[in-house]
Structure 1
Amino acid sequence: MINVTRSYLGNKAKFLGYVDSIYATGWLTNHGPLVTELEERLRDYLGVRNIILTNNGTLALQIAYRALNLTGSAITTPFSFVATTSSLQWEGIRPIFADIDKATWNLDPKAIEARIEADTQAIVATHVFGNACDVETIAQVAQQHRLKVIYDGAHAFSVRYKNHSVFNWGDISTLSFHATKLFHTIEGGAIVTDDDALAARIRLLCNFGIVDTDIIDGIGINAKLNEFAAAMGLCILDDMALILEQREEIASRYEHQLGDHFDLQLQQADSQRNHSYFPIALTDETQLLRCRAALMDKGINPRRYFYPSLDTLSYVQPQIPQPESRALSRRVLCLPIYPGLPRHVQNTVIETLLKDSSHRSQPQAERIWPQVTAGWLVEDRANLSAPMCKRIY
């Protein structure tokens, strides 16, 4: 089965070289040399002031809330992975959902103010599918209402806004380095902040509040990354240029072939994408289920990200329904995209989706395409079939 993603493992010999160094030192965890090296290299690669590695992205969110001493409620997006909401609820912070922008699929800054309550202390927004939020407008809203801002940047590794890392916005940004992400440490995550005092507090929270062997300064938890995970991260970081290049190539091909037939996410102005996902929005849930079944019949497993809309979850009720998120969650399907995805699999994805689109959205006569080849990729011409053809007039 071809899945939405396939974990990139990097150079095996290089990884085993790091493993040999771990065996030589016997240092497995507790801020070992590989974790330290990875933090330093990520700080430079991303262009951020402080980055603290954690053992997963969900704990990164929970520690972010603790570090900022959040209580009461937080305004958040209903269109994200469940951890964005469940981490708030787990920490005793009441999620209040504001709807998403219909085009960018991110939390809509215009929807935030109407949802602020007396006990609201923060905004928790997600850079959905690696598309940067409207960070400047969110910053204005937060400043006006004295709210903290936390960005769930699980999808946004290497994303830049106005030539700077998107993680430089907000009080804290969190990252996920799960094996499904374009950069990963098998399991892992990170917290980014430009506040040095806050970074020091986060480090304590990640290590039981331990200052040194004789001093414990407050409550903490174990969120430390281990050396084997850091070794994987170091290997993959070396290959990031290749990973991003191949993802961009696949995404560009999908967009060229599918962009006129399905709704695509609108990129935030002045931002760069990392192509961590390739989502399309179909006409309705009926078409989504039909296309998903057709792809699965051919050994391809697309995913419904993100379904259901988080404002429908039973453990966060009561909530005011968020119509844009609910409607979009029933329409979005993520297509396979990862380095090494075979060209013939890409062809099958495109052909299958366009066959459904052309057969059901247009009259029979409209499916007889003009014999025009200008604009086709040369390597595709031998594989052209009627459903794959795209109007260029």
Structure 2
Amino acid sequence: MKLKTSCDELAVMGGSPAFSDTLHVGRPNIGDRSEFLERVNGILDRRWLTNNGICVQEFERRLEALLGVKHCIAMCNATVALEITIRALGMTGEVIVPSFTFVATPHSLQWQQITPVFCDIDPETHSIDPRRVESLITPRTTGIIGVHLWGKPCKIEALAEIAGRRNLRLLFDAAHAFGCSHNGRMIGSFGDAEVFSFHATKFFNTFEGGAVATNDDDLAARIRLMKNFGFAGYDNVVYIGTNGKMSEISAAMGLTSLDHLEEIITINRRNYAAYASGLANVQGIRLVPYEGADRYNYQYVVLEVDEQAAGIHRDMLLQALHAENIMARRYFYPGCHRMEPYRSYFPNAGMLLPETERLAERVLSLPTGTAVSEEDIVDICSIIRLVLKNGVEVTNALANGKNT
């Protein structure tokens, strides 16, 4: 693609889109197709499609070894995994969570008539601010859910100290953090339990799926019962339960993805470095950093857009990128507290969440993964720089409805 050099060449100004095919955030990574199909043929030959089959068993063993945990229970998806784990932990009443997260986090509580109490975030880490947690604890509080946003651990030790001192359960939503570590220890082994997402849009996927990791033997036993209707053996139901099982076909995809985990992370890291180089010293935007010696999966390339310094609002930049078929995303807009049913339940929550409100207006996630090349990223960065350079013109064109 010939790099665009003038404002008139931008698609929002009447030019042609930079990309004929759309570039997405989280387009699925496939791994090796032949390896996957070989596993599928084995599943079909065995005619064992679900109910703790050979692939699920192997998948769980490999996850336990990778994460360094005693138990890893594969699930049909991360939302059901959260719901089951919350119930298995005995959470009731109120649980403190960030609003700056995917809506599945509070939904997994509200679905069970547990009140999510929204806590503001640290503007530097984008994760729940432990300094604000203490003031939200009431006699009805039974737990805290921290979210490892962007694959970066939240303040684990600070949250663990509060939970331990106040006798609260501590669960981590690690949907973004598979393959990451904290102080040399893999995410998955902290708190009472941690929940991973293996949804198709995650860098590591099982088509649809999730898992619960824990070192608590009793908790793991309850979760295993609850994910399979409470069956403890043939015709022997001993506990309340639901259907949270992972299928063999999903586990086969997970095993194939595990075989190529480091390869995918290497591509993500390469892409992140390309963005960091292409957007270095651009006024008004900040690329969320990955720092230190810990492992990261680099599955999210996240910008903060400062409207005053950049000369354009994040949403105008988003529209300009969409016009070029660069399908950047606003994560997590507008904040869970502004979605139903929470905006009706807590109409004044925004006043208590100033950092969440501020960040929800600034964050932009850019395409990455195996479907995006370094050349694509050079072009994306060039377009971002051109849009910011002509922020007033682009804003005026969009405000006046040009090419929309």
* Cα pair 2:228 2:245 within 8 Å, conserved: yes
Given that 1:75 and 1:123 are in contact with CA atoms closer than 8 Å, whether structure 2 keeps it comes out as yes
For normalisation by structure 1, the TM-score amounts to 0.89
What is the CA deviation profile of residues 184-206 of structure 1, one whole-angstrom value per residue up to 9, with x for unaligned ones?
10000000111011101100000
Counterpart CA distance in 2 for 1:337 and 1:92 is 37
2:15: which partner in 1?
none
- 1:23 Cα deviation after fit: 1.5
Aligned ranges 1:104-253 → 2 under 5 Å: 104-253=125-274
Cα offset for 1:272? 3.0
Give yes or no for the alignment of 1:320 onto 2:349: yes
Q: Distance in 2 between matches of 1:166 and 1:256?
A: 28
Contact 1:35 1:225 in 2 (8 A): yes
Please give the alpha-carbon distance, in whole angstroms, between the structure 2 residues aligned to 1:297 and 1:342.
Answer: 19
Q: Counterpart in 1 of 2:396?
A: none
1:34: Cα distance to partner?
Answer: 0.5
Contact 1:106–1:127 (8 Å) recurs in 2: yes
- C-alpha distance 216-235 of structure 1, shift in aligned 2 (>3 A): same
Find 1:287's aligned residue among 285, 300, 313: 313
SS in 1 for 2:365: strand
Is residue 67–residue 189 contact of structure 2 (8 Å, CA) maintained in 1?
Answer: no
Q: Please provide the CA RMSD for this pair.
A: 1.6
> Amino acid of the residue matched to residue 305 of structure 2?
L
> 1:311 aligns to what?
337
Give ranges in structure 1 of 5+ residues lacking alignment: 362-393
Shift of 1:340: 4.0
Could you say what secondary structure the match of 1:167 adopts?
coil
C-alpha distance in structure 2 between counterparts of 1:58 and 1:158, whole Å? 19
Tell me, in whole angstroms, the C-alpha distance in 1 between the residues paired with 2:125 and 2:73.
29
Q: How far apart, CA to CA, are the structure 2 residues paired with 1:287 and 1:356?
A: 11
Q: Offset of 1:315 from its aligned partner?
A: 1.2
- 2:358 pairs with 1:335: no
Matched to 2:135, the amino acid is A
Q: CA deviation at 1:360?
A: 4.5
Task: Provide the secondary structure at the position in 2 that maps to 1:234.
Answer: helix
Corresponding residue for residue 402 of structure 2: none
* Paired letter, 1:72: G
Give the drift of 1:256: 2.5
* In structure 2, C-alpha distance between the alignment counterparts of 1:299 and 1:315, rounded to whole Å: 33
What is the CA-CA distance between 1:324 and the residue it aligns to? 0.3
Question: Do the aligned partners of residues 295 and 320 (structure 1) sit closer, same or farther apart at CA in structure 2, a change above 3 Å counting?
Answer: closer
CA offsets per residue over residues 315-369 of structure 1, 9 Å max, x none?
12225320101110111110001024123321121011112334449xxxxxxxx
* Residue 45 of structure 2: aligned partner: 24
Q: 1: distance between equivalents of 2:239 and 2:380?
A: 53
Q: Give the Å deviation of 1:71.
A: 0.6
Of residues 148-157 and 315-324 in structure 1, the stretch that sits farther from structure 2 once superposed is: 315-324
Q: Deviations over 1:117-175 (max 9, x none)?
A: 11001001110111111101111111111111110000000110111112211101001
| TM-score (norm. length: structure 2) | 0.86
Instruction: Give the Cα–Cα distance (whole angstroms) in 1 for the partners of residues 102 and 339 of structure 2.
Output: 12
AA in 2 matched with 1:91 = Q
Q: Provide the C-alpha distance between the structure 2 equivalents of 1:141 and 1:149, rounded to a whole number of angstroms.
A: 9
Contact 1:5/1:337, CA 8 A, preserved across alignment:
yes
Residues 27 and 253 (structure 1), Cα distance of their counterparts in 2 relative to 1, 3 Å cut: same
Residue identity in the other structure for 1:301: M
How many residue pairs match? The answer is: 361
Q: Give the structure 2 partner of residue 389 of structure 1.
A: none
Q: Deviations over 1:36-95 (max 9, x none)?
A: 001111111222221000000100100111101111000100111110111111011101
Secondary structure of the equivalent of 1:190? strand
- The amino acid of 1:275's aligned partner reads Y
Write the distance in 2 (CA, Å) between the matches of 1:117 and 1:314: 24
How far, CA to CA, are the matches of 1:99 and 1:72 in structure 2? 20
Distance 1:278 1:62, change over 3 A: same
> Does the Cα contact within 8 Å between 2:67 and 2:187 map onto a contact in 1?
no
1:297 equivalent in structure 2: 323
Give, as a single letter, the amino acid of the residue that structure 2 aligns with 1:24. Answer: D
How far apart, in 1, do the equivalents of 2:391 and 2:41 lie? 58
Quote the residue 1:351 is aligned against. Answer: 382
The whole-number CA distance in structure 2 between the counterparts of 1:109 and 1:295 is: 35
The one-letter amino acid paired with 1:353 is: I
Shift of 1:264: 3.0
- Map Cα deviations across residues 263-310 of structure 1 (whole Å, 9 max, x no partner): 233557664321111110111495212211221221111111111111
Change (3 A) 1:284 1:310: farther
Moved more, 326-335 or 252-261: 252-261
Output the CA distance in 2 between the equivalents of 1:267 and 1:121. 32
> In structure 2, what residue type is equivalent to 1:346?
I
Identical residues among aligned pairs (%): 36
Q: Does 1:260 align with 2:281?
A: yes
